[in-house]
Amino acid sequence: MQTPVRILVVDDAEPVRKILVQTLRALGFEPLQADSGSAALRLALAVQPDVAIVDQWMPEMTGAELILRLHASPDARVRAMTVIGLSGRPGSERELLAAGALTFLPKPFRIAQLVAALRIAVDPALPAASSAA
């Protein structure tokens, strides 16, 4: 039996986290969630998720700052974690990718866009796109 891919959802907006968590669960992933960069850092070190979906604009630290901290972690699995950047503000994509995000998901997003971003991040673990539509 294969262990589900753990995906950490980091966004201060509860409705966005809720949609992502429900969708990820329906796609067969194991979603975890944090409402801030500091909570995400603690959870990442404790659980070592495979992927993180990180919003750029949050209190305390931006998503780009969080990505830099994750990738500077003393824990090798956390350092190697794949990150998908998330934002609805212009310019955020550039900042998130420059910090080390593998790909970017715009807000608001469609399920097909989420699936495409996940395919880039975890290709072998992703169910066929037709089952996610």
Domains assigned to the chain = 6-121 (3.40.50.2300)
**In the predicted model, what is the mean pLDDT of residues 84-102?**
96
pLDDT at 28: 92
pTM exceeding the 0.75 threshold for the entire prediction: yes
The answer to whether the beta carbons of residues 93 and 75 sit under 8 Å apart is: no
Q: Which long-range contacts (CB under 8 A, 24 or more apart) does 28-34 make?
A: 28/4, 28/125, 28/127, 29/4, 29/5, 29/118, 29/125, 30/4, 30/5, 30/6, 31/6, 31/7, 32/6, 32/7, 32/8, 33/8, 33/9, 34/8, 34/9, 34/10
Q: Which residues of 52-82 are buried (b: 16+ CB within 10 A; e: fewer)?
A: bbbbbbbeebbbbbbbebbeebeeeebeebb
Per-residue pLDDT averaged across 6-15, rounded? 97
